[in-house]
Amino acid sequence: MVETFQQTLPHGITLSCRAAGTRGRPVLMFLHGFPEAAFVWDTLLEYFAKPENGGYRCIAPNLRGFEKSSSPSEVSAYRVKYLMQDIAALVAIETAGSGNKLECLVAHDWGGSVAWTLANQMPHLTKKLSIINSPHTGTFVRELTHNPKQQAASAYMNFLVRPDSEKILAEDDYRRLFGFFTNMGAENGEFAWLTPALKQQYRDVWNAGLTGGCNYYRASPLRPATKTDTGAAGVDLPHSKLSVDLPTLVIWAMNDTALPPELIDGLDDYVPQLTLHKVQNGTHWLIHEQPQLVAGYLQDFLNH
């Protein structure tokens, strides 16, 4: 069963968390994306907490700005370096009785942006890394700068940085936000997973506010260039700031229209210990669509 609690960190940020499993057991941590929240991981939290699946302590925080977590008003507070500070502090608390290191950090979408950077800058915090449809900074900058296909797929980012984006997203019972799910491609156009109950869970999260989530995009330069903004074209990071020297599992749904498959081309140049699984019939919302497939790949990765 999934429990919920508020965890206040030493630097004053409070994260609302969801967890399953016994404290003191090896820890798996799961980071969500936008416009999601920690509840998207519930199936995997319960799965990996079971003794027959490892008996892990599984925790999924709502990132700052989401649900009941702290939502600083300054856009600059949503830079990745501050998001990493939150996760590093939570890791220290959760792993105090299990070696001060995660067994694996699992992340999707914006959570993956945090996880990729943390794996580069704080690799001592986790034994392994698992990413689900979240682009590595190196390949994302390359594609945003040079590939018109990715520039078009990411054009929505330049809408989300507008000062009125959260107001527009909330209109008509969050019509545009629900469109994020239904407009990103699915086999036969079916979205059976987007049930009325799940839609209500999303409404409950979004009713708490959308500004924090939009501030992730406002604080990041990783977006297509415009006439007044160089976007990702202005980002130049050395290879040392992008390499990940951890065993890394990447699960990539190939029908993700926002993050096309070109983003995994050349990924092994940055991640030498890479295990890559391509899911031909999955979209950006693979965690909702095929949670058992994700669990199976992750289980194999943890066992080897």
Residue-wise pLDDT for 79-121, tens only, equals: 999 999 999 999 999 999 888 999 999 999 999 999 999 999 9
Q: Which residues pair with 92 in a beta bridge?
A: none
Sequence-distant (6+) residues with CB within 8 A of 212 are: 64, 65, 66, 69, 71, 78
Residue-wise pLDDT for 261-275, tens only, equals: 999 999 999 999 999
Q: Which CATH number fits domain 3-303: 3.40.50.1820, 3.40.630.40, 3.20.20.70, 3.90.550.10?
A: 3.40.50.1820
Q: How high is the pLDDT of residue 190?
A: 62
Q: How many C-beta atoms surround the C-beta of residue 292 within 10 A?
A: 10
3-state class of 73 per DSSP?
Answer: coil
Residue numbers in the chain where pLDDT is lower than 50:
188
Q: Is residue 275 within 8 Å of residue 297, measured between CB atoms?
A: no
Distance CA 3, CA 199 (A): 21
Q: How high is the pLDDT of residue 185?
A: 57
For the chain, the structural domain boundaries read: 3-303
